[in-house]
Structure 1
Amino acid sequence: MRQIRFRDPDGDVRYGELIDDGTIRADPIRTGRVTDAVETFEMESIEVLPPCDPSKIVCVGRNYADHAEEMGNEIPDRPLLFLKSPNAVASHGSTVELLTGIETLDHEAELGVVIAERCRHVSADDADGVIAGYTCVNDISNRDDQRRETNWVRGKSFDDSAPIGPVIAAPENVPDDASVRCRVNGELRQDGSRDQFIFSVPELIEEITAYMTLEAGDVISTGTPEGVGPLADGDTVEIEVEGVGTLENQVRIP
């Protein structure tokens, strides 16, 4: 199942399932419209929204050895964590308006883990029980300021710097070696897979919840493979995760 959150033609926020033929079957219970009739929508008739409403995105740095190498960094001995705040979230299909006057704004294709319930102190063995599913994330990075600061607020948490979506895929739909790719204007820039992680999803959940409470709808962005590169005004960026689908955005840099 691939769960989608959307605004219908009447302007109401709805939930549903994205079917293989590209149509959406609305969920009558979550939208409060319990009816015997099955409502379906064409993608062209709706506005895709972020698939969840996170209170925070917990991001993982250097979780691929090849990416650490390309950035000239050592492989960490524990997960390197930083946060993106809700203002960073952008939806599939939207135009992301990025910072002006910045020399390097990079794309980073990542697998996102969506949390199902409020949780703290979750062991790696129990981690599967708090996962709602997986999504695509583009951890857009402002390298100019990231290099100058240690907390990465300017470098990572600016507006529209975390497109997510288009759906939340059930865990069983996303293989252990799921591919994680980025294309810019149709050119393949990144091509990695989940089985290249230094720290697995259960290990990340155990580490993060040892320090902070995760809320339902929070997202863990699990790190990016090698091949990160700059974005320019007018670019079309596609983040593809096997089993989830493709997150697509247009870039605007004023």
Structure 2
Amino acid sequence: MRIVRFTAPVELGVGSEPLFGVLNDKDSILVLRGDPIYAGIVPQDKTLKLSDVKLLAPVIPRSKVVCIGKNYADHAAEMDSVVPSEPIIFIKPNTSVIGPNDTIVWPRMSERVDHEAELAIVIGRICKEVPAAKYKDVIFGYTLANDVTARDLQKKDGQWSRAKGFDTFCPLGPWIETEFVPADQGITATLNGEVKQSSNLSEMIFKIPQIIEFVTNVMTLLPGDVILTGTPAGISAMPAGSTISVSIDGLGTLTNKVSSRVQ
């Protein structure tokens, strides 16, 4: 099931506030009552065309986006780093989240802004100390993410909060897939039509069960929290005005533009 979050023109009779829906096929959305993470799948008697709405980030994390660093060996190598012995975690603020086709804003502080294609986990309930064997119990679904990074600031600071925390630096979307099963699906990032990252999810060092167990032994996760699972090799700078697309087989494609550098 593909869950979308969207706004629609007032004349369609569903109001102006963001709504949730189920994408029935390529151009039909069944409108839902409330946020399905909290309210479950409760349909309204209303169907809209996908072409008539604006898709938003399918989830706005209530508290945090937790990220796993250096979770592909080839990416660790290109960063001149060793493969970690346990997951490396950091947090992006929920204010960094934007949706499909929104613009990544290049901040004035940075001279290099990179893409990082990632699979994202959407958490479905409050959870703490979840055993790896029970990881499925706490996952609502999966979506795509771009862990946008001001690479020069990351190197300058020696830690990652500023470099990865700017507004617009966490594109998510275009939907949440509740039936996706991560295995060996391909993951790619395409910059202005050129493939820059190409790997598959089986290359993750720490798999989804390990990630859920590790993170929830550090912190409580809340419904709507998101975990980014790491990026493969091939990260590169996104020039001003470029278009970046993140794709995962069976999950879809997330596309965003990059603004000119803010002066």
TM-score after normalising by structure 2: 0.90
Residue identity in the other structure for 2:184: D
State the aligned residue count: 251
Shift in Å, 1:42: 2.2
Between the aligned partners of 1:30 and 1:86, the Cα distance in structure 2 is: 17
Task: Say what the alpha-carbon RMSD is for the aligned residues.
Answer: 1.8
Question: 1:173-192 maps to which residues of 2 (within 5 A)?
Answer: 173-192=180-199
* Residue 123 of structure 1: aligned partner: 131
2:217 to 194, 210, 233: 210
Report the Cα offset of residue 41 of structure 1.
1.9
Q: Which secondary structure does the structure 2 equivalent of 1:128 belong to? A: helix
Which residue of the other structure, out of 28, 49, 60, is the alignment partner of 1:23? 28
Match of 1:161 among 166, 169, 192: 169
- 2:27 and 2:51 in contact (8 A); partners too: no
In the alignment, the residues of structure 1 paired with residue 35 and residue 69 of structure 2 have an alpha-carbon distance, to the nearest angstrom, of 35
Asked if 1:194 corresponds to 2:176, the answer is no
Q: In structure 2, which of residues 220, 225, 231 is the aligned counterpart of residue 224 of structure 1?
A: 231
Sequence identity, in percent?
39
TM-score by length of 1: 0.93
* Distance (whole Å) between structure 2 residues aligned to residue 182 and residue 144 of structure 1: 20
Is 1:66 aligned to 2:74, yes or no?
Answer: yes
Measured after TM superposition, the shift of residue 145 of structure 1 is: 1.2
Equivalent residue, structure 2, for 1:5: 5
Residue 150 (structure 1) shift: 3.5
Cα distance change of structure 1 residues 102 and 28 upon mapping to structure 2, 3 Å threshold: closer
What is the CA-CA distance between 1:185 and the residue it aligns to?
1.1
1:86 maps to which residue? 94
Per-residue deviation at 1:228? Answer: 0.5
Runs of 4+ in 1 over 6 A off after TM superposition: 31-34
Q: Which moved more, 1:210-219 or 1:101-110?
A: 101-110
- Letter of the aligned partner of 2:9 in structure 1? P
CA change 1:29–1:96 in 2 (3 A) is closer
Structure 1 residue runs of 5 or longer lacking an equivalent are: none
CA distance in 2, matches of 1:131, 1:225: 23
Q: CA, structure 1 residues 211+93, in 2 after alignment: closer, same or farther (shift >3 Å)?
A: same
Q: Distance in 2 between matches of 1:202 and 1:137?
A: 19
Deviation per CA, 1:142-174, whole angstroms, max 9, x where unpaired? 11111122431211111111000110001x334
Aligned residues of 2:31 and 2:43 also touching (Cα < 8 A) = no
Whole-Å separation in 2 of the counterparts to 1:34 and 1:125:
32
